[in-house]
Structure 1
C-alpha cells in the first residue's frame, strides 16, 4: 500500500496531480493513533479510474490525533487504490436486484469473505466489483488453484473498509 494516493485532474496516470489523499500505510510512526481510511464521494467510474470529491479524514479525528489534510476538490484516482466495505451477501449481473444473482454468501458480507480487486463501475447506489474469495472457514487466502474470482454488481456500500456502517440490510 502506498503512503498516499495521487488525485489527478483527468482519468490518466499522466494527468496533472491536483492533490493527495493519505492512506493508513504512512502512519506507522504513530503506533498509539488510530488512522482510518479517507472517505470520499464517487461521482463517476471510467476505464479503471474513479472521479471523486468531498474527501474527508474525519473518522481519524479524536482525543489523540486530528484529521489529516486531504484534497477535498474534484479529481480522479486509480480505482485499484479505493477500498470499500460491502454490507451485502448478494452480487448481481446488473445494477438491479431483480437481475440474475451471480453470488449469494448467505449471511456473510462480501468484504468478510473476499478481497476486493477493483471497482469497475458505479450506477447510483451500486458498484461493479472484481473480487477474489477467501476460505470460508479461515478467511485466509486460498491456494492459487482454488481461488474464485468474480465480477458482480453490489449495493450496501460502506465508505469505510475498517468498520461497518450500521445500515439496514439491502439483502431483504
Structure 2
C-alpha cells in the first residue's frame, strides 16, 4: 500500500506498507498496525506503522516508518461493538444492532467493510451488502438513514470499542 504526502491518489508516494501477512497453516491474516492521526475525505494520516512480529512469528518486514496518507479503502477496523450509530456519540440513534453473539469485528463484517472517517475513539465504517453472505444480509435490520447519500448496496455506521490488537479482545467491552 502506498503512503502519500497528501490525501489524494496523485500525491507523491513517500513509502509503502507491506501486504497482509497470511499464515497458510492456520489461515490467519495479520495486517500492518498503524496509528491514525487525522482524516480527510476518506484518506487517513498514519504514523508508527509496524509489523506485528508477535503474531507473525517472523522478523518485521521493511515498513514506511514516517507519517503520511493512505486511502481508507485499504484500511481495516475491527471494532468490538455490537451497535452501529448515526453519529460518533454513545447517545446517537442506533442504526444497526447485532445479536448477542455477533460483533463488528467478525471476519464476515470486516471483509465487507472499509474505513470512511474517524472522530476520537470512533470510526465510521462503510459496508458493502454484496460482500456479506446472503444469510447474514437477511438478518441485518439496517436503518434506511444508514444508506442515505451512498450508492445502492452500501451503508455507513459509527462504531466504538476499537482495539489496537488484531487478535485479542480489549477491556472496553
Normalising by the smaller structure, the TM-score range is: 0.7 to 0.9
Q: CA deviation at 1:87?
A: 0.9
2:103 & 2:77 partners in 1: Cα distance?
12
**Alignment map for 1:141-152 (pairs within 5 Å):** 149-152=154-157
1:32 & 1:16 partners in 2: Cα distance?
38
Residue equivalent to 2:158: 153
What TM-score do you get using the length of structure 2 for normalisation?
0.75
1:132 & 1:110 partners in 2: Cα distance?
14
Deviations 1:95-125 (A, max 9, x none): 1111101110022111324234321111110
Residue equivalent to 2:59: 66
What TM-score do you get using the length of structure 1 for normalisation?
0.76
Contact 1:86 1:155 in 2 (8 A): yes
**Alignment map for 1:22-171 (pairs within 5 Å):** 22-24=18-20, 36-59=30-53, 60=55, 62=57, 65-107=58-100, 108-112=102-106, 113-114=108-109, 115-132=111-128, 134-135=132-133, 149-159=154-164, 163=167, 165-170=168-173
1:158 & 1:69 partners in 2: Cα distance?
24
Q: Assess, with a 3 A threshold, how the Cα gap between structure 1 residues 31 and 94 changes in structure 2: closer, same or farther.
A: closer
Q: CA RMSD in A?
A: 2.8
1:15 & 1:38 partners in 2: Cα distance?
22
**Structure 1 segments unaligned to the other structure (5+ residues):** none
SS at match of 2:89: coil
Q: Assess, with a 3 A threshold, how the Cα gap between structure 1 residues 136 and 31 changes in structure 2: closer, same or farther.
A: closer
SS at match of 1:80: helix
Number of residue pairs matched by the alignment: 153
Q: Which has the higher helix share?
A: 2
Contact 1:88 1:169 in 2 (8 A): no
1:131 & 1:154 partners in 2: Cα distance?
12
1:160 & 1:6 partners in 2: Cα distance?
22
Q: CA deviation at 1:85?
A: 1.1
**Structure 2 segments unaligned to the other structure (5+ residues):** 139-151
